[in-house]
Structure 1
Amino acid sequence: MSSASASASGFAASANARSARRGTPGVSGAFRAYRAPPPGFMGSAFGGRRGGFGDENQALWGLIAANGAVYYAWAVSEDTRFMRKNFMVSEEALARGRYHTMLTSAFSHFDLTHLGMNMIALYFFGKSVCERFGGRYLLTLYCVGGVGASVAHVLWCRQQRRRRVTRYKEGRGNIFDRMDAYVSRFIEERGASRGYYFTPAALGASGAVNAIVAFEVLLYPFRTILLYAILPVPSILLGGLFLLRDIVGIQDSQGSGVAHAGHLGGAAVGALAFASIRTRLRWGRY
């Protein structure tokens, strides 16, 4: 997920494909050939394990095809207002009742590099999820991760907007600085009263993919991944570095064009999914 200017994928943009399925399970040896029904945390939103969207290959390729179709729609649109209105999530979109953008934005890219990096990570880590939990679980984890990323982005934007208004009210500096702060506060508050917010819209599958990657990293923390197809690193280290990047990036008051809060929101969904599995294993519910 990125703000209006697209960015590269979150955790696994540079992970080597072949190594993503190798290594030592980090939780239990039982996960090496785990084929049970999906955990209760994700429910059964997409039907049975086999057939239709429950089929492993159909689920994975269906997600990739959906992302490709939305990218094509961006590419061929002469007027992108419809796409911006319905495939980007923001404070304004939710204030105006376009709640579907919390999910549709997770399928939306208008930069080919952004799309490609996200789909590479989705394929290799998503394939691993499908093999162990089925296509239904992958679809649900992707969608819940995308919505979680959108919610995190909007909440962060809301918090930042309120900080700006508070800073404007303080009115520090010389008379020109105070006048600028007064005008800025007036514009921001008037816009908010009419349902228009000066906070960035976001789009991209990075948050949804981060949910999948975080889930896999926690499931197999010591699996070896080849960074840039050269440097072998344990998945937990790679995941930690990208997590740190987003934690640092979210502090950038100037704005980097990357929705770091959305990345972290997606990763949090993956962590919750992993915690659900650990709990169910502990109580012997598999």
Structure 2
Amino acid sequence: MRQSPIQSFKPISFRSIHLQAPAIASTTINSRLTSSRSLTNHLLSRRTFASTSRGLLRSTYFPKGNGGYSNYGGSGGRGGGNWFSRLRGRIDRIPTMTLVYGLIGINGGVFLLWQYALSSAQRFRDPTLFKFLQQNFILNEVNVFSGRVWTLVTSAFSHMSGTHIFVNCLGLYFLAPAAAGLMGSSAFLGLYLGAGVFSSLTSLTYHRLKKDRWWGSEGASGAIYACLSFYGAMFPQSTVLMFFVVPMPVWVAISGIFAWDFYGALFRPNSGTDSAGHLGGIVYGLGAALAMRRGGFIRMLRGGRRW
């Protein structure tokens, strides 16, 4: 996420993290997936997110319901359950990469709207579309308390700067498949949207405390950080390439990012980066991983079996 005064938006640079695709460490597989030597050897012989390994991972952490649909704490099934379970089943039919490409496409479409709005305002003196996007795709206290609560979500699809959307979509392309491959399409979509809302609320709270009513935030980085922290909580010893160059365990990368954004929120409030929103995304991803590993929020609250 980035932040700017509503009166003048400025593009900023943004960090990107590339997720390698190494084989899962044998200790992680032995402790998390199975004690069977033959199954372990089979998993180690394939890519981490190949179709077979992905299915084994997902079925271990996220068991399927009747009829082949995902059943993450609900009563999914073919034709059964409530409307939400049926909707979730339909979303789970969508291949995970198709969903990731769809999210990238929506972000790209909103970016093109911003460019057209800026062009119309500058060339034709028609600010109508620009004002509409300001009111409906920028997160700030004025918009939310004016009743436009949907900006908690729409701001996670909004980018004005070409550099901003390029780096964020690059992050989506490399990081989102890791989380989506583990969770399935419906749970991943819930992670993206939920992280967008939670990071928005974190940003709103931060700016309200600082009395910055007119500072606006936009961008998908809160959701992207949630994908990274979710995967990192599931496989903390996996390796990522920081800045596409420096290899390190994912838990080290997440800790470093969290520390940097925490420092930025305290001592660099006018840097142009919404550090509070980043922190909210990281926390949401870690919380989602904790809940999923324990069988879902409801099961966790009821004291169900823990991994």
Which of the five TM-score ranges fits, normalised by the shorter chain? 0.7 to 0.9
Which residue in the other structure is 1:58 paired with? 98
Q: Is the 8 A contact 1:3 1:201 kept in 2?
A: yes
Residue 163 (structure 2) pairs with residue 160 (structure 1): no
Which residue in the other structure is 2:283 paired with? 268
Once the two structures are superposed, residues 15-40 of structure 1 have per-residue CA deviations (whole angstroms, 9 ceiling, x without a partner) of 2x4x1454437584329632233644
Once the two structures are superposed, residues 155-209 of structure 1 have per-residue CA deviations (whole angstroms, 9 ceiling, x without a partner) of 1111111xxxxxxxxxxxxxxxxxxxxxxxxxxxxxxxxxxx6441100001111
Once the two structures are superposed, residues 39-86 of structure 1 have per-residue CA deviations (whole angstroms, 9 ceiling, x without a partner) of 449x96892356677431321111111101001111111232111111
Distance in 2, matches of 1:219 and 1:9, equals 25
Which residue in the other structure is 2:113 paired with? 73
* Secondary structure of the corresponding residue to residue 201 of structure 1: strand
Distance in 1, matches of 2:85 and 2:134, equals 27
Deviates more, 1:96-105 or 1:115-124: 115-124
Q: Is the 8 A contact 2:157 2:219 kept in 1?
A: yes
* Secondary structure of the corresponding residue to residue 258 of structure 1: coil
* Offset of residue 97 of structure 1: 0.5
Residue 181 (structure 2) pairs with residue 131 (structure 1): yes
Which residue in the other structure is 1:29 paired with? 32
Q: Is the 8 A contact 1:26 1:219 kept in 2?
A: no
* Secondary structure of the corresponding residue to residue 247 of structure 2: strand
Once the two structures are superposed, residues 94-131 of structure 1 have per-residue CA deviations (whole angstroms, 9 ceiling, x without a partner) of 11011010000000001111111111221222112222
Which residue in the other structure is 2:233 paired with? 218
Q: Is the 8 A contact 1:6 1:204 kept in 2?
A: no
Pair 229,255 (structure 1): closer, same or farther in 2 beyond 3 Å: closer
Counterpart of 1:34, as a letter, is: L
Residue 190 (structure 2) pairs with residue 102 (structure 1): no
* Offset of residue 265 of structure 1: 0.9
Distance in 2, matches of 1:45 and 1:151, equals 27
Counterpart of 1:130, as a letter, is: A
User: Which of 274, 279, 285 pairs up with 2:294?
Assistant: 279
Pair 51,92 (structure 1): closer, same or farther in 2 beyond 3 Å: closer
Counterpart of 1:114, as a letter, is: H
Distance in 2, matches of 1:230 and 1:223, equals 15
Q: Is the 8 A contact 1:6 1:203 kept in 2?
A: no
Which residue in the other structure is 1:203 paired with? 218
Structure 2: stretches of 5+ with no match in the other structure: 5-9, 35-52, 63-69, 77-83, 121-126
Question: Which of 1 and 2 has higher RCO (CA within 8 Å, sep 6+)?
Answer: 1
Distance in 2, matches of 1:21 and 1:104, equals 34
Deviates more, 1:149-158 or 1:270-279: 270-279
| TM-score normalised per structure 2 | 0.72
Structure 1: stretches of 5+ with no match in the other structure: 162-196
| TM-score normalised per structure 1 | 0.77
Counterpart of 1:142, as a letter, is: Y
* Secondary structure of the corresponding residue to residue 248 of structure 2: strand
Distance in 1, matches of 2:271 and 2:180, equals 34
* Secondary structure of the corresponding residue to residue 233 of structure 1: strand
Q: Is the 8 A contact 1:107 1:204 kept in 2?
A: yes
Distance in 2, matches of 1:53 and 1:201, equals 36
Which residue in the other structure is 1:111 paired with? 161
